[in-house]
Amino acid sequence: MNKLTASNISKTYQSGDHQTEVLSNISFSISEGNSIGIIGYSGSGKTTLLQILAGLETPDQGDIFFNEINLSSNNSNNFNSMRGNLFGYAYQFHYLLDDLTVFENCNLVFKIANNNKVNENSKRIIQILDELGIASLQEKYPYMLSGGERQRVAIARAVVHEPKFVLMDEPTGNLDHENAEVIQNLTIKLAQNHNIGIVVATHDLNYADKLDAVFRIENGDLKSA
């Protein structure tokens, strides 16, 4: 079973003469099909940790491993190639392109990766949209959708390319309680059905409690919650 591991990750930010250590020797691992919640107050380092996991930000020390492969030591071209296959992303704001339909927004992932398996990709997109209950919206544009529907599309886009792991930063933060509950259950079910590991940074303790494990970032440390 594939595993993603953070090993002794530390990160300090400098602002003038002031240094703030947001992450201090953080270590944990997650396997495909499992889910982890990362909680903590705003500014505690949740987003920074996700960015480091995905290789979008560099830690001051520590390493990220995919199985036995040290992603931190790969050259940038190799890592960028691996990152596209390893990770999907979903954020608090959906970041859908307004001039593309739901289907086209999802298909953009394949275009960026120069994946030209048109029929196979189309079937995959329709399958995921159907699992999220929005297959009927595939020809609509983002402005025609509700907030909950847009977030479902963003999640579909994050998983259509069959990543090993999906990193989610406050994915229900802009939603009302009812829509948040729907998104929470759908993401967990989707991860289980497709054997995807999910790491969720969230303020929503109700969401966190549904996940396999929960950690809190507090004063730079990662603790079991």
Per-residue pLDDT tens digits for 181-199: 988 998 898 888 999 999 9
Cα dihedral 20→54→82→89 (10° resolution):
-160
**CATH code of the domain in which 37 resides:** 3.40.50.300
Chain Cα centroid distance, residue 94? 12
- Residue 17's contacts (CB-CB under 8 Å, 6 or more residues apart) are none
pLDDT category at 74 given cuts 50, 70, 90 is low
For the cut 60, the answer to whether the pLDDT of residue 77 exceeds it is: no
Say what the pTM is: 0.88
Cα dihedral 199→183→176→88 (10° resolution):
50
pLDDT for 95: 87
What's the total number of domains in the chain? 1
Domain membership of residue 198 as a residue range: 3-224
